[in-house]
Chains A and B, each alone.
Chain A
């Protein structure tokens, strides 16, 4: 269901439906997610609508550019070692019209309940989108409209054992890829000390043949904000 769809089209899934009806002057876009209905007029003769997983930081509102993944069981990593693990992240679906300047977003919806949390302390911390994830040794099977997979390479550069409870990512730099089975992205975590680490994303798919999703947190902004997150408030 992800990908380009020629107008008009009708997509039906167990959890949601997307319908574009009309011809000639324009189309009516209607989306229904658990009786939350959004309707819009798209004034065009022909065209393509793209449906893609996007950075999960837009709903219920653009409040933050950070995603905190809380590990349901913490991970203890040997000094001077590198390990790979898989985490889940909430999926937000973006419906967009391709344009010369990138994408014009028509609608964003999610089948996952959003939740926010604070990383760090009240005065210097950061509000983050919150997601609780299991830690998987290999790519788990997930509903691609609910959850995606992050392949996280954790490198402990410190001289001590380090326990990781949370991983925080910056949306500026998220590279989400998808196919019919997985929505995923690759990320890195470089642990400097027991309390400080850096996280960022790798612009590569989890598997060959995956398509790149739409990026809303665009490159122009990356120059201003940077695309990695410095976890200074503990791991």
Chain B
């Protein structure tokens, strides 16, 4: 029979056929899983999920080749010795790349940040800015002063990440000091009116305006406002200045620091 015909050594046509089927199956399965990966990572940018799907696809193809080689009587021992040495060399050389790659995969699964999120990566003087891209090896951030920062994914993954956009709304706070002679109730009403007038100061959660403390020079009014996370900075900037101006228009002023000084002896002021 043709299937039993020997091609070389002990390898028959049947062995060749089975090997081709295994290779084809590995390719098809690899392709199918790679395509499904696109669906799983649909929220990810195209370049990221295409890298992941390529890694999966070629892993299957390589696995298929390794399975069929013994069947085709290709001696792997020689290759393994040379390959083993190469693997050690490459392993040492690419240790950080693999770490970053794995971190990138975990970042893709955990999703602590997305493109266009405003984040701070690392504690202390970490990198703060807008995420431009999350690649398989690194994440790029554009800081607020326009600087491009590339951070290896291992650093991103192992450091603390503060994501200012993860929640849809964000609260900010002012402390507005007014003179003791001013009417705090009136000031609270004025501030409340300004917040109601601002479209991006959210109705719910409601703002909080209250006298927080009686300071050494001023009555301190705390103002807490919620706004959409994407508009937080704009609202914060706009409202603070409006509050200051409107209070002054109503003769409610922010006082300077004051200190009363008592002298043991009567002060004599001489006019020359």
Task: Note whether A and B form a binding pair.
Answer: yes
Complex alpha-carbon distance, A116 and B168, angstroms: 12
B22 to chain A minimum Cβ distance, whole angstroms, is 41
Contact of A126 among B166, B168, B230, B231 (CB under 8 A): B168
A118/B168 contact (C-beta < 8 A), A63-B228, A63-B231 known: yes
A126 to chain B minimum Cβ distance, whole angstroms, is 7
CB distance A123 to B204 under 8 Å?
A: no
CB distance A118 to B230 under 8 Å?
A: no
Bin chain A's interface residue count.
Answer: 10 to 19
Q: Does A114 contact B (CB under 8 A)?
A: yes
CB distance B167 to A122 under 8 Å?
A: yes
Complex alpha-carbon distance, A70 and B200, angstroms: 17
CB distance A125 to B169 under 8 Å?
A: yes
Q: Does B57 contact A (CB under 8 A)?
A: no
CB distance A63 to B230 under 8 Å?
A: yes
B199 to chain A minimum Cβ distance, whole angstroms, is 4
A118/B204 contact (C-beta < 8 A), A125-B168, A127-B169 known: yes
Q: Does A60 contact B (CB under 8 A)?
A: yes
B146 to chain A minimum Cβ distance, whole angstroms, is 23
Complex alpha-carbon distance, A115 and B199, angstroms: 4
CB distance A118 to B199 under 8 Å?
A: no
A-facing mask of B220-247, CB < 8 A → 1, else 0?
0000001010110000000000000000
Complex alpha-carbon distance, A41 and B230, angstroms: 32
Q: Which residues of chain A from 119 to 178 have a CB within 8 Å of any chain B CB? A: 119, 122-123, 125-127, 130
A177 to chain B minimum Cβ distance, whole angstroms, is 27
Q: Does B203 contact A (CB under 8 A)?
A: yes
Q: Which residues of chain B from 161 to 219 have a CB within 8 Å of any chain A CB? A: 166-169, 197, 199-200, 202-205
CB distance B202 to A116 under 8 Å?
A: yes
Complex alpha-carbon distance, A116 and B200, angstroms: 6
CB distance B169 to A122 under 8 Å?
A: yes
Please give the number of chain B residues whose Cβ is less than 8 angstroms from any Cβ of chain A in the complex.
15
CB distance B199 to A114 under 8 Å?
A: yes
Interface centre among B166, B202, B226 (most CB of A within 10 A): B202
CB contacts (< 8 Å) of A70 on chain B: these are 203
CB contacts (< 8 Å) of B197 on chain A: these are 113
CB contacts (< 8 Å) of A115 on chain B: these are 199, 203
Complex alpha-carbon distance, A48 and B166, angstroms: 44
CB distance B166 to A116 under 8 Å?
A: no
A24 to chain B minimum Cβ distance, whole angstroms, is 40
CB distance B166 to A118 under 8 Å?
A: no
CB contacts (< 8 Å) of B205 on chain A: these are 118, 122
CB distance A123 to B203 under 8 Å?
A: no
Contact of B228 among A113, A114, A119, A127 (CB under 8 A): A127
Complex alpha-carbon distance, A115 and B235, angstroms: 13
B-facing mask of A45-66, CB < 8 A → 1, else 0?
0000000000000001001000
CB distance B202 to A118 under 8 Å?
A: yes
B206 to A, closest residue via Cβ: A117
B209 to chain A minimum Cβ distance, whole angstroms, is 17
Complex alpha-carbon distance, A135 and B87, angstroms: 74
A131 to chain B minimum Cβ distance, whole angstroms, is 10
B102 to chain A minimum Cβ distance, whole angstroms, is 28
A113/B168 contact (C-beta < 8 A), A63-B230, A118-B226, A127-B228 known: no
CB contacts (< 8 Å) of A119 on chain B: these are 204
CB contacts (< 8 Å) of B204 on chain A: these are 117-119, 130
10 closest cross-chain pairs (CB), A and B: A117-B203, A114-B199, A117-B204, A122-B167, A127-B228, A118-B169, A123-B167, A130-B203, A122-B169, A127-B168
Known: A118-B169, A122-B167. 8 other contacts (CB 8 A): A63-B228, A70-B203, A116-B228, A118-B202, A119-B204, A122-B169, A126-B168, A127-B202
A-B contact pairs, 29 of them (CB 8 A): A60-B199, A60-B200, A63-B200, A63-B228, A63-B230, A63-B231, A70-B203, A113-B197, A113-B199, A114-B199, A115-B199, A116-B199, A116-B202, A116-B203, A117-B202, A118-B168, A118-B169, A118-B202, A118-B204, A118-B205, A118-B226, A122-B167, A122-B169, A123-B166, A125-B168, A125-B169, A127-B168, A127-B202, A130-B204
